[in-house]
Amino acid sequence: MAEGDTILRAARRLDAALAGEAVAVTAPNPRGRAAGVERLDGRRLERVDCHGKNLLLRCGDLVLHSHLGMNGSWHVYPRGGRWRKPRRAAWAVLVGEAQEAVQFGGPTLRVLPAVRLGRDPQLARLGPDVLAPDFDPEAAIRLLRADPSRTLGDALLDQTAIAGIGNIFKSEACFAARLDPWRPLGELGDEDLRAVLLAARELMLAAVEKGRLPHAVYRRRSPCAVCGGPIAARGQGDANRTTYWCRKCQA
């Protein structure tokens, strides 16, 4: 699933390509037509921003909300350029003066009135965005404390407590902070939670700037680069998302 770093990069790319322009909007795929994206045709795209894993394309009193899930993507091409996927797969096409943005797949694509964003059931329940310029780790810590019995690795994926962290940076941040992802939150101090949140933020911001980074533990089967011990992997939480960790470094 696309994590916050991928979404922030996409927001910056789309904003640079189309912000400030009146866009021609079409929906080659029935999914895009069902979402009502053609209501945006001819409108000025004011800006593109994001919150956690959610992209928000703001066109005055209407907003296009996109969540890419596991398989969705946004592409930017020169206007009239060749696409990497077939046109019939495109849910939304936004064409500007020199560039065009194309959205393919994902669980969520919908047009919302801008005045509804603050009370929308999907968006209003999100926790603090780990990549926001004004990110407040203390606010996220208070939300994480809601269930002391929940394990750290599972809690970091809860978008209502902290928005943007996915399975990769859950594992990588716990390793960077040298915390066992299987410890219940009630056994961790605020300094521990602050450390793992800031580690996630630092790693994700680096990924925003540099693209994909080498992983210390995620999907690694080789010995730990720090201690030489084995890297373990096991499903965690109700969703059974695989957590990777070093049994020795994170004991």
CATH of the domain at 191: 1.10.8.50
CB 93 within 8 A of CB 86: no
Residues 12 and 100 in one domain: yes
What's the CA gap between 50 and 67, in Å, rounded?
10
Residues 97 and 177 in one domain: no
- Determine, yes or no, domain membership for 251: no
Three-state DSSP state, 158 = coil
Give how many domains the chain has, as a whole number: 2
pLDDT digits 0-9 by tens, 54-70: 999 999 999 999 999 98
What's the CA gap between 219 and 142, in Å, rounded?
30
Domain extent at residue 193: 137-246
Give the mean model confidence (pLDDT) for residues 98-111: 96
Give the mean model confidence (pLDDT) for residues 214-236: 93
Is the pLDDT confidence value at 36 over 90?
A: yes
Is the pLDDT confidence value at 1 over 80?
A: no
Short-list 109, 54, 103, 58, CA closest to 77: 103
Is the torsion defined by CA of 89, 94, 99, 101 positive or negative? negative
- The percentage of the chain sitting over the pLDDT mark of 70, rounded to a whole number, equals 100
- The percentage of the chain sitting over the pLDDT mark of 90, rounded to a whole number, equals 95
- Determine, yes or no, domain membership for 131: no
At residue 178 the predicted structure's pLDDT band, cuts being 50, 70 and 90, is very high
At residue 119 the predicted structure's pLDDT band, cuts being 50, 70 and 90, is very high
